[in-house]
Structure 1
Amino acid sequence: MSDRPMNNKFRNEHELPIHEVIPQIKDALSSHRSAVLIAEPGAGKTTETPLALLNEPWLEGKKIIMLEPRRLAARSAAAYMSKMLGEQVGQTVGYRVRWDSKVSKDTRIEVVTEGILTRMLQADPELEGARLVIFDEFHERSIHADLGLALTLQSQSILREDLRILIMSATLHGERIAELLGDAPIIESKGRVYPVETRYVPILNQDDVETVMKRTIIQSIQHDQGDILAFLPGAKEIRRVQSALENEVPSDVILVPLYGNLPLEQQDAAIRPAPAGKRKVVLATSIAESSLTVEGITIVIDSGLQRVSKFSPRTGMAHLTTVKVSKASADQRRGRAGRLAPGICYRLWSEQEERMLRPFSVPEILEADLVPLALELAGWGTADPNDLLWLDVPPKGAYEHAVQLLEGLGALKADGSRSITTHGKAMASLGVHPRIANMLLKAKDLGLGYVAARLGALLQERDLFRGQDAARKTDIRLRLEALLQADEGVDIQEIDLAVMKRIKTEADHFMRILDIDDQPIQDSQIDMCGLLLCFAYPDRIGRRRSNGRYTLQNGRGAYFAHQDHVSEQDYIVAAELDDQGTESRIQLAAPVDGSELEQHFASHIEKQSNIYWDREAEAIRAKQVMRMGSIILRETQLANPSQDELLAILLEAIKHIGLQILPWKPKSKQLQQRMMFMHKQDDTFPDVSDEALLATLDSWLAPYVIGMKSRQDLERLDLAAILQSMLSWEQLRQLDEYAPTHMIVPSGSRIPIHYSDGESPYISVRLQEMFGLQETPRIGGGKVPITLHLLSPAQRPVQVTSDLASFWKHAYFEVKKDLKGRYPKHYWPDNPLEAIATHRAKPKS
């Protein structure tokens, strides 16, 4: 069309606010490489801007590539522009979306979804046939839009100085994006929005959003004019509200769902005007928030909720969660009611709650699974995302996790370079999540491509089974069997036919891109389902540790809420987890054989010599362990463990347990205490306190325990001999002289000396055996008095003293009086210094 005029009648009937700023847009892109267009809803930016720029001189007859965040919006925009030109889609204006495209050699405007732009850039970083890339609805901040812009900016900077970039948005901080684009000019356009009355319908505690939504829709049908667009967080809520309304609305009201997974023909039906004489209620997710006009809508009922995917670096898993919309999103939704005529917006929250809404939605790149992005950057040749320009840099934790997973999948080299491998390039070319891509490629090599194609499609869809019992059926093989039976014409009541159709369509796409022919499925191939899932989720391979509970390869715990055949298997792989609490509930899984893991995941398996102290057995265990991450696949006895390792483990166990594990007999314990006594008198003697001995096990004990493996072995040690070996001959002599083991008391008895109190050695002796001894006995070369624990004839303490002379002079007579009364048959002299010491009741006459 390059010179074909636009249908003037069509244009005059649809004069839009964007036309007022078209000259500014043209001027900006003529003099700058980038520009930012802020256009309110209803301005007409999506369809008018590309057509207005088509004949600009700087375009030189080359293409405009325009990104739309959703397939429906891309197809709708292409169709509308083609209609304005009086052409069919695929002529001057065409589109490319996942698994579908309508373009020709004459196409000058290609409307594409964001993932398609990434594929185009990877195949041709210069975008040779294009001169302008338009990012529409950039305020939605999808991860693909951020990635596409980062790659396009680098291409513009390094390869294509003549490439233009235009960012178009309804709600965005224009200054921030303009700064990223090198201080690009900002153009603003007011929208054509009719007055919209806002009515607040707060959800009370006893109600839920679906109940209030149903009630509000019925009231609006009864009192308002026009079609209704109701925003709900997800397809599940849409189905429930639709089911609840079917018998409640008048016969002239049509209920139409609109969400991303619907077949394209049903999405197209949702945005077409209602048939004559009918009213339409569109139950939609955020897909209808921007980018397209749903014909006939004058009433919006907004739940204020949306479903987003959040990734947890802690668990390594992403999960869908329902969150409140931002103020900007709420205003976008409200604007849908005023696109064609004055309208009404019901908000299912209060004005006070509205003040609490965050201004803008959190960019997807800050919360999403970054594995696909990390693979794209590796394919682009970027090891560090900081080498590119971003509005928001990908979070480091989530990105590092993504890199580790991709290395485990074999997509990136594990040498630290983060370079993409040949296998990684093949994964990226499939255009699906790297987990699924790895499974499909591995399965094809094993001749299991047909099964994997269906399994991959199953994993990307909602549950094939309907009803409350579906949650109890955690075995994904049941779903694969049901799908294959349905392929053969078997009528299975419990499956969702719409989901089955989408799964089959997706599986057929996988078959085409893998170049796999249809082939009969054997039961044994279905049993390989667990292995195939392992290729997608190696980090979620689990080993059973107790009834229904598993340890996953990534270290997380997981459990089955309901016991079944899968929950009793030694090994499983979890395809879906709820990521709640300290352990995740397993929602979908399949069993896998340990031998299959050893065969197909040899590069992931480490063989370790595991030598450790078994606390219960009080012995060293030496095993050969085959470990895959946090799970142990197999343990065998280690035939010839290293003597050095055994010794190190034994000494470490002694340090941890303490010296009480050693066979301390009274003789060896007394020797230790005598040596400690001498150390305090003379620091040339070794320090043999418990602390010092534990700190120096390597030097004093190690030579004597080589080859020992248990506490039983340690019982053979002669600790007295070992301690004596620490002393020189002269020190042994001094030890016997200055710290004797016993003392001969006046009665002739040989009494052991106790050194447990290193400062005050003592003996325990009956009082009568000390008669005649005037002064306190001393050791340590006469420097240290022996403390005397004087005992009654019944061996009970009566006095503790280290000054015997004073005792005889002052305390003896009081003690004598007491003892004489209790032990009248014993010898209690009036003068103990002249009395004969005895160990009997009375001395021999």
Structure 2
Amino acid sequence: GSDVIIASLYGAMDTKAQDIAIQPAPDGKRKVVLATAIAETSLTIDGIRVVIDSGLQRLPRFDPASGMTRLVTVKSSQASAEQRRGRAGRLEPGVCYRLWPENEHRARAPFTAPEIAEADLAPLTLELARWGVTDPETLRWLDVPDRAKIDQARDVLRGLEALDGENRITPMGTAMAGLPVHPRLAHMMLRGAQLGLDDVACALAALLSDRDFMRGRGADLRIRVEAIIKGRAPKMISEAAKQLARRLRDAAKQSGLAKPDTARVDRADEVGLLLAFAYPDRIGERRKGADARYRLSGGRGGVLPNEDSLASEPYIAVAELDGQAREAKIYLAAPVARATLETHFADQISEGTEVFWDAQSDAVAARWQRRIGALVLDEKATHDEADPDAIVAAMMEGIRKLGLHCLPWDKASEGLRARLAFLHRVEGDAWPDVSDDGLLGSLEDWLAPYLGGITKRGQLKQINLSEALLAGIDWNQRQEMDRLAPTHWQVPTGSNIRIDYSGETPALPVRMQ
């Protein structure tokens, strides 16, 4: 009724609106405050006698589907619940109602994990580089960021032209750090501004920063961007696009980034090209076949429903896909022409010869390729002389796929392997592990030196396996092996009997008298 004041309280509010929530209610009025987790702090709100805790909180989490951090709703921790309970009764008696069972409360996490352990570290890594910090481990942290996540963030930022090879910030990175969006979207906006696509880039950035307002309408992002530009999108997204456009104009002026000398972008390719600037690791080429399956430049695979309007597109750029499966479902994407990619990603196209194991011919093969990341644009078989080390590596790949049985084992090499296996069981790691897994895992150490000049399975018979196995132990160990695991044993009759090491324990086949 008219005697109730309903006030909101969250971090982005202006001071005047916050004061309404914090100050005492006027005489004769009751106040209801709808608060986010900001109320868990030491903030005191006059007149609060009752706290109703939903048991939920919104926290930043890295979303593999979008490649960015987004707020997700999760159960609050026990510590968070205690903080909320403390909002009641600070100045007078109060009560807290928790909307979950007591037994569930005991099962909740004791504390909320620090944000640095859960969020995408690309924005932090870019900000550190802006300060001149190229190695985060030189700083003193309350919670040390995971090294692997930092390395992953650096890879992303290098792909976005934000860091150089020494992890120092580039002019592009400096300009990106000045925009209030994820580095992926900042790079897209700045590259878009260079091409005169400011409005499209800002609309796309606003769209990707929020929930899809056209979920269920297919994957094509172009219809969503068009809706924003023509004023048919939710007001919040349209306003966000306008604000980003203002920030982009300022950032573009200050950056001094030169405009590329490229032809005008075809209108049908605008959204797809901008997406590729944000997600250079998600440029997709359609695989052969009836289904809309795509090979992505980052090495993953993606699939569109066959009925989707993009299903026949030869090349796409992907904004959102299932973050779990290796061949993930694509949710949001846009088409982009190959010619457009070759023009605007020319500096990221590499050429070279790939040496690999060809399972069909049981031999090493080589092919010349042009590629963007894992995405092969052109390839052809080549007979040029390949790097010898690459040939050896490909042969080892083939041996691992075929298994150890493809090697030329004979009685001598099998007997030697059995003796070494016995010594490894008895004496431990001082002796090499010659199990199947051990040998396959250490081909580089014991077999690689004997693979020179070998390019086919049939040529493996040239290898002396006994010599290769013995190369893994030194001269002293060879002498010790003859003492601890001799090949023969002289029995009372004077005969030298070969010892069988193939079982769990050595066996001496002697006829009983």
TM-score bracket for the superposition, by shorter chain length: 0.5 to 0.7
Q: In 1, distance between residues paired with 2:309 and 2:12?
A: 32
User: What is the correspondence of 1:363-402 to structure 2 with a 5 Å cutoff?
Assistant: 363-402=114-153
Counterpart for residue 309 of structure 1: 60
The whole-number CA distance in structure 2 between the counterparts of 1:261 and 1:479 is 27
| Deviation (angstroms), 1:385 | 1.3
What do you get for the CA RMSD once the two structures are aligned? 4.5
CA distance in 2, matches of 1:526, 1:276: 62
Per-residue deviation, 1:336: 2.7
Quote the residue 2:113 is aligned against. 362
Local SS of the residue matching 1:509? helix
**Within the alignment, does 1:333 sit opposite 2:84 as a pair?**
yes
CA distance in 2, matches of 1:643, 1:403: 32
Is residue 449 from structure 1 mapped to residue 198 from structure 2 by the alignment?
A: yes
Number of the residue aligned with 1:641: 384
Aligned to 2:296: 552
Bigger RCO (CA 8 Å, 6+ sep): 2
Equivalent residue in structure 1 for 2:252, among 514, 528, 534: 514
Query: Structure 2 residue aligned with 1:438, among 183, 187, 199?
Result: 187
The question of whether the paired residues in 1 share the 8 Å contact of 2:359 and 2:398 is answered with no
CA contact (8 A) 1:450 1:511 kept: no
TM-score by length of 1: 0.42
Check 1:587–1:253 CA distance in 2 against 1; reply closer, same or farther (3 A cut): farther
Secondary structure at the residue paired with 2:167?
coil
SS at match of 1:306: strand
Does residue 597 in structure 1 map to residue 337 in structure 2? no
Residues 631 and 255 from structure 1, CA distance in 2 versus in 1: closer, same or farther, beyond 3 angstroms? farther
What per-residue deviation string (whole Å, max 9, x for no partner) do you get for residues 615-637 of structure 1?
A: 44778865321222222223245
The answer as to 2:224 corresponding to 1:482 is no
Q: Following the alignment from structure 1 to structure 2, what is the Cα–Cα distance between the partners of residues 326 and 569?
A: 46
Report the number of matched residues.
408
Give the aligned partner of residue 483 of structure 2: none
In the superposition, relative to structure 1, how do residues 499 and 376 fare at CA in structure 2: closer, same or farther (>3 Å)? closer
- Shift in Å, 1:400: 0.8
Q: CA deviation at 1:393?
A: 1.4
Structure 2 Cα separation of the partners of residues 501 and 268 of structure 1 = 26
- Per the alignment, residue 207 of structure 2 pairs with 458
**Residues 338 and 433 of structure 1: is their aligned pair in 2 closer, same or farther, counting only changes over 3 Å?**
same
Which residues in structure 2 correspond to 1:538-687 (within 5 Å)? 538-545=280-287, 547-560=291-304, 563-612=307-356, 614-616=358-360, 622-638=366-382, 641-642=384-385, 652=395
The one-letter code sitting in structure 1 at the alignment partner of 2:247 is: H
CA contact (8 A) 2:58 2:71 kept: yes
Aligned 8 A contact 2:176 2:183 in 1: yes
- Alpha-carbon contact 1:464-1:499 (below 8 Å) kept: no
In the alignment, the residues of structure 2 paired with residue 473 and residue 398 of structure 1 have an alpha-carbon distance, to the nearest angstrom, of: 32
8 Å Cα contact 2:178/2:251 also seen in 1: no
Aligned residue type for 1:543: E
2:274 aligned residue (509, 513, 532): 532
Q: CA–CA distance in 2 between the matches of 1:526 and 1:280?
A: 54
1:574-626 CA deviation, whole Å, 9 max, x = no partner? 22334234444433222222222222223322212235565447788653212
2-structure distance, mates of 1:391, 1:695: 48
| Structure 2: runs of 5 or more not aligned | 255-263, 412-447, 463-513
State the Cα deviation string for residues 286-323 of structure 1 (Å, max 9, x = none). 24433655665433221212232334899976565443
Pairing of 1:26-425 with structure 2 (within 5 A): 281-290=32-41, 292=43, 297-311=48-62, 318=69, 320-339=71-90, 341-414=92-165, 417-425=166-174
List alignment gaps of at least 5 residues for structure 1: 1-249, 487-491, 517-521, 662-675, 678-693, 706-710, 723-845
Query: What is the CA distance between 1:258 and its match in structure 2?
Result: 5.4
| Identity over aligned pairs, percent | 46
* Deviation (angstroms), 1:485: 0.8
1:313 & 1:480 partners in 2: Cα distance?
22
Partner Cα separation in structure 2 for residue 549 and residue 526 of structure 1: 21
TM-score by length of 2: 0.65
CA distance in 2 between counterparts of 1:479 and 1:392 reads 40
Q: Distance in 1 between matches of 2:398 and 2:242?
A: 64
| Deviation for aligned residue 1:364 | 0.9
Q: Which secondary structure does the structure 2 equivalent of 1:527 belong to? A: helix
1:335-391: CA deviations, max 9, x gaps?
333355433321112233333333332111122111111112222222211211111
Query: Equivalents in 2 of 1:696, 1:387: separation in Å?
Result: 44
Measured after TM superposition, the shift of residue 554 of structure 1 is: 2.5
Rounded Cα–Cα distance in structure 2 between residues aligned with 1:354 and 1:258: 25
- Cα pair distance change 1:421/1:512, threshold 3 Å: closer
